[in-house]
Amino acid sequence: MVLSSEQVRLYAVTDRAWARDEDALMAQIRAAIAGGAAIVQLREKHLEDEALLAEAKRFTALCREAGAISIINDRADIAAASGADGVHIGQEDGEVRRARQLLGPEKLIGVSAHTVEEALAAQAAGADYLGAGAAFVTGTKQDARPIARETLRAITAAVDIPVVAIGGITRDNIRSLSGLGLSGVAVVSALFAQEDVGAAAAELHRLSEEICRP
């Protein structure tokens, strides 16, 4: 699968913290897709494998039905078993080549990058897109340190694959990411902590289109 820049304009990353149960989470995901998120990452850090696989299968089916790309956070094995479109791994979560062996050539592999060196290494290993950040201070990952705008610009200039900024992005600060060569933005609380997830997605998609124009 070849990933276009348009497909990552709004990249939704789930967080169960704002959903009362799995049904509510799935409803939020469906609303995010309807609002403009063409790619969604299921991020579950605390589920046991059996429960994670069951949820991943449900998530993958929902995304396929709604016309969105399904990505599993960290777990290439769960991505493969659930039939998801791909996996997103961090620098510490395993090598791209190992994930590729598990998933095969047609699935997507995203990699977190914080420096130009990490970005180039991930692309050389076969990553299909990069998540670069943190763009701002974020409460989602307590150990994520913001990187300079110059670093974000250098990362996008160094690679040929789509780069999305992630970390603390909101409707109020997204415009400051304009002109950095980004393909899109990845958001968590700016979507899933909102009362109307669909409306939040529509606004963020519009704003992302603005900042990602050449």
Question: Could you list the residue range(s) of the whole structural domain that residue 26 is in?
Answer: 6-211
Whether residue 25 lies inside any domain: the answer is yes
Structure tokens at 135: 């763009």
Q: Is the pLDDT of residue 115 over 90?
A: yes
Q: Is the pLDDT of residue 142 over 60?
A: no
Q: How confident is the model at residue 116 (pLDDT cuts 50, 70, 90)?
A: very high
Q: Mean pLDDT, to the nearest integer, of 69-95? A: 93
Q: Mean pLDDT, to the nearest integer, of 142-152? A: 85
Q: Mean pLDDT, to the nearest integer, of 128-152? A: 86
Choice between 191 and 142, residue whose per-residue pLDDT is larger: 191
Residue position matching structure tokens 């090598």: 95
Whether residue 1 lies inside any domain: the answer is no
Round to whole Å and give the CA distance between 68 and 60: 9
- pLDDT number for residue 137: 83
Q: What domain count does the chain have?
A: 1
- pLDDT number for residue 143: 61
- pLDDT number for residue 192: 97
Encode 112-181 in three state secondary structure: EECCHHHHHHHHHHCCCEEEEECCCCCCCCCCCCCCCHHHHHHHHHHCCCCEEEECCCCCCCHHHHCCCC
pLDDT digits (tens, 9 = 90+) for 96-105: 999 999 999 9
Q: Mean pLDDT, to the nearest integer, of 167-175? A: 96
Q: Is the pLDDT of residue 6 over 70?
A: yes
- pLDDT number for residue 145: 82
Domain of residue 28, CATH code: 3.20.20.70
Inter-residue contact 36 to 207 (CB < 8 Å): no
Percent of the chain scoring above 70 in pLDDT:
96
Whether residue 43 lies inside any domain: the answer is yes
Round to whole Å and give the CA distance between 124 and 163: 15
Please enumerate in sequence order all residues whose Cβ is within 8 A of that of 23, keeping only pairs 6 or more positions apart, or say none: none
Whether residue 133 lies inside any domain: the answer is yes
Task: Give the count of alpha carbons within 13 A of 3, CB side only.
Answer: 30
Q: Is 21 helix (H, G, I), strand (E, B) or coil?
A: coil
Q: Mean pLDDT, to the nearest integer, of 134-160? A: 87
